[in-house]
A and B are shown apart, each in its own frame.
Chain A
């Protein structure tokens, strides 16, 4: 006598709860990830009225941070004022649309800012944007 086969349960992954799982994952990642915060130093930007949006594409913008104690940071590296042109010169050679976004603190002394500007001139990075907040 032939053994009667048991009728197998249909093989299949239940997909009804799939969307729930996806949403859970979505929410988890939304809550857990923080967008990449801008690198650099903590600065309190100055306030101004005549500000405009920077029209250079993001990848041609280089951020130069100067905090209130006069420390300078470019691409997450602290440096002295006299080293700035050496760092920026090769970047300027590769990209002639390079714009420097100068994010200096309200309280920064102009001596440092001026030194950095002279370095930028030496590197022929002449387009500068003084980052500011709306008054």
Chain B
């Protein structure tokens, strides 16, 4: 008579299941990044053509043309020099208002570069005039 072999019961080992699950959990926790919104915060001037009388001495005009060239107080300067210039002026005259104007064809990146430089220079008063209509 043939004796049947006693087979071990078929079973998936489940003791390491939780380890695997934890690994997966940690993996997904690290990999999935919650989309945080970062950027440069500005406050726009209130509506209406409010005539604010400013002493011309307290205004620094920053013009950006369509090619991304910067005219800083009637002088063409490279973008990365704005920071130093602005710091200097701000230190000399804390009431200084920096007015950024662009052409309608200026690229947004060029505008952001200029605003970025002014933000790095810690200017308190930033006027975003935008484009002439």
Binding site for B on A (CB under 8 A): 16, 19-20, 23, 26-27, 30, 35, 38, 46-54, 61, 66, 101-102, 104-111, 113-114, 117-118, 120-122, 124-134
A132 CA to B4 CA in the complex, in Å? 73
13 A-B residue contacts at CB 8 Å?
A: A46-B109, A46-B112, A48-B39, A49-B120, A53-B36, A54-B37, A107-B107, A107-B108, A109-B106, A110-B106, A129-B37, A129-B41, A130-B40
Name B's interface SS.
mixed
Stretch at the interface among B43-51, B54-62, B69-77, B90-98: B43-51
Could you tell me which residues of chain B, from 1 to 55, have a CB within 8 Å of some CB in chain A? 12, 14, 17-18, 20-21, 24, 28, 32, 35-47
Return chain B residues, CB-CB under 8 Å to A52.
Answer: 38-41
Residue of A whose beta carbon sits closest to that of B121 = A50
Given A46-B113, A47-B109, A130-B40, 18 further pairs, Cβ under 8 A: A23-B20, A35-B32, A50-B120, A52-B40, A106-B107, A107-B109, A110-B104, A110-B107, A110-B130, A114-B130, A117-B128, A121-B47, A125-B44, A130-B41, A132-B38, A132-B40, A132-B116, A134-B38
B86 at the interface (CB under 8 A from A): no
Return chain B residues, CB-CB under 8 Å to A16.
Answer: 14
B105 lies within 8 A of A109 (CB): yes
Interface bin, chain B: 35 or more
Q: A30-B28, A48-B116 are in contact. Are A113 and B39 (CB under 8 A)?
A: no
A104 CA to B18 CA in the complex, in Å? 45
Q: A117-B128, A132-B39 are in contact. Are A126 and B116 (CB under 8 A)?
A: no
B128 lies within 8 A of A106 (CB): no
A131 lies within 8 A of B37 (CB): yes
How many A-B contacts at CB < 8 Å in the complex?
135
Task: With a 10 A CB-CB cut-off, give which of A53, A66, A114, A124 has the most chain B CB atoms.
Answer: A114
Residue of A whose beta carbon sits closest to that of B130 = A114
B128 lies within 8 A of A109 (CB): no
Name A's interface SS.
mixed
Residue of A whose beta carbon sits closest to that of B129 = A114
Return chain B residues, CB-CB under 8 Å to A61.
Answer: 37
- Smallest beta-carbon distance B65→chain A, Å: 10
A53 lies within 8 A of B38 (CB): yes
